[in-house]
Amino acid sequence: MMQAKVGWSTAGSPLAAGKEAAQAAKVDGAQIALLFGSVDYNAEELLKGVRETLGDVPVIGCTSYTGVLTPGGFITSPDGYCALMALSDEDMAVSVGAAEKKECAVAAGEEAALAALEAAGMDMAPEFFYMVAPPGEEEFYLQGIQSVVGRVPFFGGSAADNDLSGKWLVYGNGVVKNGVAVAFFWNKAYGNKYTGAYRGTGKRGIITKVENNRVLKEIDGKPALDVLAGWLGNTAADLQGFNLLGATIHHPIGITDFAGGHVWIRHPMVGNADGSANIGNNLAEGVAIELMEATTDELVASVESTAKAAVEMLGDEGLGALVAVHCGGRRGGIGDRMDETVTAMKNAIGETPFIGVFTFGEYGFEGDLANGCGGLMLSFMALGK
C-alpha cells in the first residue's frame, strides 16, 4: 500500500526549510523523496536539511519557477520556498541515479541509467521512470537513458529558475550542476497524462529550415518570425527577444502525431534579428506545425481535467499520490490565479497527496506513442495505491 506525505516551507534558511519540509513529509520506510525548491536557496544546504531529517533516502528533483504546488496552496516567497513528497510502498522498488554531463548528454543519460540500475540491484528495465535535466538537451539525455533500458514510459520536466538566467539546478542524491537525474520505478501501477490542452487554430505551415535543432529559420520558405507574426497579428519587430515568449504562452505552436491523436507543444522563446526564432525543444525540417491557442481560464481548468485523466488510467487500482509537472510558462500565463489551480487539483483528486513543480520543459508519453519532450505542457503522473 502506498504511503505518501507532502511537506513544504518558506523558511529564510535553506537548511531550516529542508528540515521543515522533510519533517512534515516523513513516512515509515520512505524509499524516495521528490524535492522541488527555489533558486534563492543554497541547494547544498537545502539538501543537507533534508538528509538530516530523512537519513539516506534517495532524493531527486529540481529548482522550480517562482513557487511550488502543494495541498496547502501555491507556495512562494521572495526568501525561498520548497516542497517535498516522500513515498513508501512495500511492494514497490525504486532507485535514483544521476550523472554530470562530461562527454555529451547522451553519455550522461547512459551513466545515470546504469547508476539507477546498480543502486536498485536490478538487471531489468523499470516499469516507468522520472527524469529531470537542465533545459537545452533533454532529448539527448533521454536518448542515453533509453539506450540502456529501452523505450520505457517516462515523465518529468526541466529544472527552472525565476528569470531565464540559467541558475536552475537538478537534485539527484546531491546537486547536479549540468547533467541528468533519473528515478526508476518497479512494481507500481501508474497513469500518465501528457498534454498541452490547447486548441488548433487552423493556421499551419511546414518547417523548411532548422539550425542546431532548436533555431527555427523558415516556415514555408519564409522567415519564421514573419510567419509567426502574421499568425499572431503582430509584426516581427513586436516579437524580438523575449517578447516572443510572452506572446506565445497562450498561442504556442504544435506538432500533431502521425495518427492525429496527440499534439506535442513547442514554445517559441526568442525572436532573433535575422528573422529566426529560438524554440524550447527540438524541431525537424519537413514537419507540419500549427498555431495553437488557449485562454487563461482554460489553462487553469486543464489542471483538473489532466489530473482526472491520469487517475482514470489507474482503473480499479485507486490513487495513492500524484506528481504534477506543470510548465512554468503556463504558470506565468495564469498569473495571480495560481490558488485556483490548487482548487482544481482538489476537485480532481480530493485529499490525496500531491506535489507540483513548475518547469522549463515537460516530458511524458501518450498512449502507444514514443516518449517525448515539449514545452507549455502538463505531465501528471498518478501513482496507484
What does the alpha-carbon distance between residue 76 and residue 216 come to, in Å, rounded to a whole number? 35
**Which phi and psi (to 5°) does residue 179 adopt?**
-175, -160
Domain finish residue from 235, 267, 293: 293
pLDDT of 357 higher than 90:
yes
Residues 324 and 266 in one domain: no
Domain finish residue from 293, 324, 347: 293
Comparing CA positions, the residue from 106, 129, 118, 100 lying closest to residue 32 is 129
The DSSP output letter for 256 is: E
- pLDDT value, residue 366: 84
Per-residue pLDDT band for 129 (boundaries 50, 70, 90) equals very high
Q: Which grid coordinates belong to 372?
A: 517525448
Residues 171 and 225 in one domain: no
pLDDT 10s digits, 4-62: 999 999 999 999 999 999 999 999 999 999 999 999 999 999 999 999 999 999 999 99
Residues 207 and 187 in one domain: no
**Is the entire prediction scored with pTM above 0.75?**
yes
pLDDT of 369 higher than 90:
no
Question: What are the distances in angstroms from CA 291 to CA 194, 250, 275, 276, 325?
Answer: 19, 10, 18, 16, 23
Question: Would residue 197 be called left, alpha or beta, if left means φ above 0 and alpha means ψ between -120 and 50 degrees?
Answer: left
pLDDT 10s digits, 100-126: 999 899 999 999 999 999 999 998 999
Number of domains the chain is built from: 2
Mean pLDDT of 79-93: 97
pLDDT 10s digits, 160-190: 999 999 999 999 999 999 999 999 999 999 9
Residues 103 and 158 in one domain: yes
Residues 214 and 362 in one domain: no
Residues 333 and 259 in one domain: no
pLDDT of 355 higher than 80:
yes
Domain finish residue from 249, 268, 293: 293
List the domain range (segments joined by +) for residue 20.
3-195+298-384
Residues 315 and 330 in one domain: yes
Residues 129 and 231 in one domain: no
Q: Is residue 159 classed as helix, strand or coil in its secondary structure?
A: coil
Q: What angle do helix axes 105-120 and 138-149 make, rounded to 10 degrees? A: 40
Residues 220 and 261 in one domain: yes
pLDDT of 217 higher than 80:
yes
Residues 66 and 182 in one domain: yes
What is the maximal distance between C-alpha atoms in the chain? 60
